[in-house]
């Protein structure tokens, strides 16, 4: 079985670009695909707050602080939801934090927002997968020695699901997402019923979680730490704003409605779990999660408990990573389109998803899982810094936008976004202050390093563009070859873009061939009129053939064209000329597509006899 057939078997047949609209999501599917991160966070947000509070003791008076902390977080959630509704209205084609901050605050705030979100998305995958496996091992302790291996298997499986396309992943993730939501609300309902009927029995705290005496005292810093830990419930809320174009028409209307529904469901689940944890006096243990203890206390050890702990919770936590898989590649696309990430990340794969972005996310998340050995609590301190940085910059950018445009109803909108910016900025300061020494310092350092890398990549692309520019080349005229002459040595020049390297390759082809033909492949991004106009000015004697590629492949259309051309010129040796520019440093090649290598390999298998590259040294 060839590699291409194996790939088709695993991720499915290639989809044409025309099928893009068919891959859009309904509101129900979008809630599962884009909101699984936010919805799943209730499985560990309450637990992380309680872990902080337990440092002061396990008495009811101490643990009861979790309820007012949860109310404060839900108030913050309401502000963020209302703020992002304004963003969706203002950016109906998708307004992620990077775009909003870049357009309204400048390139540096935009890059800070973009790098913060990239880090947050990677952490989301690591945290979600680790938390899902943590729930499984909580019910099946025998699997604890294999936590890292199980995490990596889940990352691999969710990667395959996303490589199959947005529509396919939506079908896969709807059942686990809604099963989790129904299970949580069922647990909340039964728990409240037990309270009303006097059947509540406090859960005995795990021995490893009971301190002999409080190692800390309840004070402002501890409460703020618990608040910051619980704010992980807000991660993933911005995903719908980033992914507006994933919805069916009318996109922005459906996105706003889905975002509102997300806020209602998320707020209800988070408050309900926190209330029950306080009611049942739940104390999280080293190997016992809050949901596992609550499920056992409310349902007993039976089918419903195992469904919640072994299926619904691990499934939603594992699939919560899908929010990152939906938005991380799209964010990478925008950054790559603007020249701040390698261009390869801007290309659509066979299934109309940004496959390179999906693979990059999986590699980074897998690396984190191995480094932290799948320990959710160890990764959590790194969490939320990135997301609240992007929240703040996005909302501040929206305030600037409203003041700049001053459209209808701009004052209430500006006020809403200003409140959101201030609230998230305060939370960001709290998160950094309370988590800095616990690991948040790594994110604080990583963001400027990533911004520096973005700027270096952009500088390289600017340098390449200037060296290859043909703006200064004057229009030229050539004497066309007389028609009817017998062709003895034709040349086919592959044209990616019309730049100085291409011009030199065409000059070489003229020197060796008595007929030259140029071929360009349009994968959906070529301005035909502009290309033909500039071609007529510079290379008027050479015919330019533009091949449409509905499946976005560059190699296949060229190989087929050359095969057809050679069939029409039997007995004549033709030369295939491929322009390629050579970078100053070998590692700069990583920022450019390796189409030349793939094309030469494909032509070799087709037994094209003369294939040459014309190098242009930058």
Q: Which of 247, 239, 242, 174 is nearest to 20 (CA)?
A: 247
Phi, psi at 99, each rounded to 5°: -65, -45
Q: Where are the alpha helices (DSSP H) in 569-617?
A: 595-605
* pLDDT tens digit sequence for 42-85: 877 888 888 888 877 666 667 788 889 999 999 989 988 988 88
Give the number of residues written for the chain.
618
Per the CB < 8 A criterion, the answer to whether 141 and 287 are in contact is yes
- Mean pLDDT (whole number) for 482-506: 80
Output the pLDDT for position 213: 45
pLDDT above 90 (res 496) = no
Distance of alpha carbon 426 from alpha carbon 80, whole angstroms: 13
* pLDDT tens digit sequence for 533-584: 888 888 878 888 888 888 778 888 888 888 888 888 777 888 888 888 888 8
* pLDDT tens digit sequence for 280-339: 888 876 667 788 888 888 888 788 888 877 778 777 877 778 778 888 998 999 899 999
- Domain positions in the chain are 3-458, 490-617
Output the pLDDT for position 109: 94
* pLDDT tens digit sequence for 181-207: 998 999 999 999 988 888 776 655 554
The DSSP secondary-structure symbol of 285 reads B
Q: Which of 58, 11, 50, 272 is nearest to 167 (CA)?
A: 11
Distance of alpha carbon 281 from alpha carbon 250, whole angstroms: 46
Distance of alpha carbon 205 from alpha carbon 283, whole angstroms: 5
More confident residue, 560 or 607: 560
The DSSP secondary-structure symbol of 487 reads P
Output the pLDDT for position 171: 67
Distance of alpha carbon 128 from alpha carbon 118, whole angstroms: 15
Output the pLDDT for position 214: 52
Residue 393, classified by CB atoms within 10 Å of its CB into exposed (0-12), middle (13-18) or buried (19+), is buried
The top-level CATH class assigned to 3-458 is mainly alpha
- Here the tokens at position 349 are 């794969």
- Here the tokens at position 157 are 């499986």
* pLDDT tens digit sequence for 106-121: 999 999 999 998 998 8
pTM of this prediction exceeds 0.85:
no
Output the pLDDT for position 175: 84
Distance of alpha carbon 363 from alpha carbon 152, whole angstroms: 10
Per the CB < 8 A criterion, the answer to whether 66 and 226 are in contact is yes
Average pLDDT, the chain: 82
Secondary structure of residue 31 in the 3-state scheme: helix
170 dihedral zone (left: phi>0; alpha: psi -120 to 50; beta): alpha
C-alpha Rg value of the chain to the nearest Å: 28
Output the pLDDT for position 364: 93
Give Cα 314 distance to the centre of its chain: 21
Q: Which of 444, 396, 512, 487 is nearest to 97 (CA)?
A: 396
More confident residue, 615 or 9: 615
* pLDDT tens digit sequence for 354-400: 889 999 999 999 999 999 888 877 777 777 788 889 889 988 999 99
Q: What Cα–Cα distance (Å) separates residue 296 from each residue in 139, 191, 289, 312?
A: 10, 11, 11, 14
Q: What angle do CA 592, 118, 32 make, to 5 degrees?
A: 115
- Mean pLDDT (whole number) for 481-497: 75
pLDDT above 60 (res 20) = no
* pLDDT tens digit sequence for 250-285: 888 899 999 999 999 999 999 999 999 888 888 876
pLDDT above 90 (res 490) = no
Per the CB < 8 A criterion, the answer to whether 478 and 540 are in contact is yes
Per the CB < 8 A criterion, the answer to whether 398 and 417 are in contact is yes
Same topology between domain 3-458 and domain 490-617:
no
Distance of alpha carbon 42 from alpha carbon 44, whole angstroms: 5
* pLDDT tens digit sequence for 129-151: 887 787 777 767 788 888 889 88
The domain covering 490-617 belongs, at the CATH homologous superfamily level, to HUPs (3.40.50.620)
């Amino acid at each position: 079985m060839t590699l291409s057939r194996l790939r088709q078997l695993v991720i499915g047949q290639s989809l044409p670009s025309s099928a893009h609209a068919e891959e859009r999501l309904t509101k129900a599917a979008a809630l599962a695909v884009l909101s699984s991160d936010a919805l799943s966070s209730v499985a560990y947000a309450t637990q992380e707050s309680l872990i902080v509070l337990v440092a002061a003791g396990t008495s009811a008076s101490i643990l009861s602080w979790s309820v007012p902390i949860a109310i404060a977080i839900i108030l913050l959630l309401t502000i963020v939801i209302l703020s992002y509704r304004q963003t969706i209205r203002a950016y109906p084609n998708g307004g992620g934090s990077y775009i909003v901050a870049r357009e309204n605050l400048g390139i540096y705030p935009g890059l800070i927002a973009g790098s913060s979100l990239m880090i947050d998305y990677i952490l989301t995958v690591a945290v979600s997968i680790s938390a899902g496996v943590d729930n499984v091992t909580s019910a099946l302790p025998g699997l604890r020695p294999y936590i890292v291996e199980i995490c990596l298997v889940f990352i691999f499986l969710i990667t395959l699901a996303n490589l199959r396309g947005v529509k396919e992943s939506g079908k896969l993730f709807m059942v686990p997402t809604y099963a989790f939501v129904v299970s949580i609300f069922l647990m909340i309902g039964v728990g409240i019923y037990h309270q009303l009927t006097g059947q509540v029995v406090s859960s005995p705290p795990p021995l490893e979680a009971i301190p002999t005496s409080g190692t800390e005292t309840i004070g402002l810093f501890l409460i703020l730490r618990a608040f910051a830990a619980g704010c992980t419930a807000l991660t993933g809320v911005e995903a719908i704003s980033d992914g507006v174009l994933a919805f069916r028409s009318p996109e922005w209307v459906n996105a706003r409605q889905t975002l509102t529904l997300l806020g209602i469901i998320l707020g209800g689940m988070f408050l309900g779990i926190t209330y029950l944890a306080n009611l049942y006096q739940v104390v999280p243990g080293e190997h016992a999660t809050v949901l596992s203890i609550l499920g056992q206390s409310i349902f007993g050890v039976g089918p419903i408990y195992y469904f919640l702990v072994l299926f619904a919770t691990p499934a939603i936590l594992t699939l919560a990573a899908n929010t990152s898989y939906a938005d991380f590649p799209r964010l990478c696309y925008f950054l790559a389109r603007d020249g701040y990430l390698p261009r390869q990340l801007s290309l659509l794969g066979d299934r109309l998803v940004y496959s390179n972005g999906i693979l990059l996310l999986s590699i980074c998340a897998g690396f984190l899982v191995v480094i932290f050995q799948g320990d959710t609590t160890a990764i959590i301190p790194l969490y939320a810094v990135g997301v609240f940085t992007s929240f703040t910059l996005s909302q501040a950018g929206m305030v600037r936008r409203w003041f700049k445009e001053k459209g209808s109803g701009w004052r209430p909108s500006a006020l809403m976004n200003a409140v959101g910016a201030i609230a998230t900025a305060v939370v960001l300061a709290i998160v950094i202050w309370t988590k800095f020494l616990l690991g948040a310092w790594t994110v604080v350092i990583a963001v400027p390093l990533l911004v520096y890398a973005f700027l270096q990549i952009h500088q390289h692309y600017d340098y390449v563009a200037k060296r290859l520019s043909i703006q200064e080349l004057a229009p030229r005229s050539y004497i066309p070859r007389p028609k009817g002459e017998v062709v003895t040595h034709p040349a086919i020049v592959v044209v990616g873009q019309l730049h100085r390297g291409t011009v030199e390759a065409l000059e070489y082809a003229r020197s060796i061939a008595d007929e030259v033909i140029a071929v360009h492949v349009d994968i959906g991004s070529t301005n035909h009129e502009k290309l033909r106009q500039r071609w007529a000015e510079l290379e008027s004697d050479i015919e330019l053939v533009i091949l449409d590629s509905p499946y976005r492949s560059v190699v296949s259309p060229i190989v087929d064209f050359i095969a057809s051309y050679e069939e029409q010129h039997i007995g004549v040796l033709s030369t295939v000329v491929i322009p390629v520019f050579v970078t100053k440093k070998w590692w700069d090649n990583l920022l450019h597509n390796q189409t030349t290598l793939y094309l030469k390999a494909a032509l070799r298998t087709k037994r094209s006899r003369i294939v040459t590259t014309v190098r242009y040294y930058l």
